[in-house]
Amino acid sequence: MADDLHLSDDDLAEDIHPLFHGAPATTEFRKLRKRLVREVRDAIDKYGMIERGTRWLVCLSGGKDSYTLLAVLHELKWRGLLPVDLLACNLDQGQPNFPATVLPDFLQRMGVPHRIEYQDTYSVVMDKIGPGKTMCSLCSRLRRGNLYRIAREEGCSAVVLGHHRDDILETFFMNLFHGGRLATMPPKLLNEEGDLFVCRPLAFVAEADCEKFARAMNYPIIPCDLCGSQEGLQRQQVKQLLDGWEARSPGRRQVMFRALMNARPSHLLDPSIFDFTGLTAKPGTFSENPPHLGQEF
C-alpha cells in the first residue's frame, strides 16, 4: 500500500461501513476518525503486517480498544486498502456476570463475520491462583492458547489484537521495573510455533483517542474488571506513573514511545546484540597526551 490515504469530509460522510452508522457529524469527530485511520494504516505499512489474500482473526474483548480496532480495520477494507479477510472473534472465558449476548448481537446487527467461542478459563485461573493474587498473567496465557487454536481452525494467518500505544509503553516500563529487561509488545510478532503472526495495528494510536471514538459511537462497552482485577496490579501502577508525567509535561508519552522506535544497541549494555569486544580503533588515532587519571574524557 504505497499510496497515501487522503479522506475528504465527503469521503467520511458517504459509503460508510455499518460500523460507522450514527457517527457524529462534528468536525472534531471527523478529524478523530481520519487520524485513527491514518495511524492504523501507518502501523500496518511500517511493520509489514499485510499478506494479500490471507485471513485475520480480529480479537474482541468488548472494550473500547477492540471496538476501535474492529471499526478502523473494516473502514480500511471497505475502501480497498486492506486486502485481507476479517473474522471477528470473542473468547468468552466464563467470567461471572459476563454479558454473553452483547457482542454476538452487535456483530450480527453490523453484518460483521464472527465467531463466538466459550472456554471457561476463569475457573482454571481461580483454581490455580489464590484470592487476592494477580491473575492476569495466567489468564492471558490461556486466552492466547485458545486464540491460536481458533485462528488455525479458521485458516487465519494472523491473530490481531487491540493493544494501543499506551499499552505498549506501559509494558515497556513494567519489563524495565519488574522484569529487568528492555522489551515490550511488538507491533508484529511470529509465535513460538512459527505458524501465526500476532499483529497490533493500533500500535500508534493513543488510548485517549480509542476512548473518545468508542464513546462517540456509543458502542456497547463491556467492562474489563469482571474478574475482580486488583487496582494494585503492576500495570495500574505504571499507568498512574505515566499519567503523572504526562500531566506535568504534555506530550511525554509520545516522546517516550518514539524512543522505542529509535534504539541504539551500541549505546546500551547488551553484548548479545552489539559486539563490544570486536570494536577496534583506527591506527594512529590514540592521543599522544592521554588524559590523567580522574580527568574527564
CB atoms within 10 A of CB 159: 23
Tell me if 139 is assigned to a ligand binding site.
yes
φ, ψ for residue 204, nearest 5 deg: -95, 0
Per DSSP, what are the bridge partners of residue 91? 117
The residues, ordered by sequence, that sit 6+ positions from 3 with a Cβ below 8 Å of its Cβ are none
Q: Are 226 and 98 in contact (CB under 8 A)?
A: yes
Is 224 annotated as a binding-site member? no
Cell output for 202: 493500533
Cell of 233: 496490579
The residue assigned the cell 522489551 is: 183
With beta carbons less than 8 A apart as the criterion, state whether 98 and 92 touch.
yes
Q: Give the DSSP H or E segment for 145.
A: helix 136-153
Closest CA to 204 of 188, 223, 226, 222: 188
89 annotated to a ligand binding site: no
List for the chain the helix, strand, coil content (%; round to 5). 45, 10, 45
- Nearest alpha carbon to residue 208 among 219, 216, 198, 218: 216
Binding region: 136, 139, 227
Binding region for [4Fe-4S] cluster: 136, 139, 227
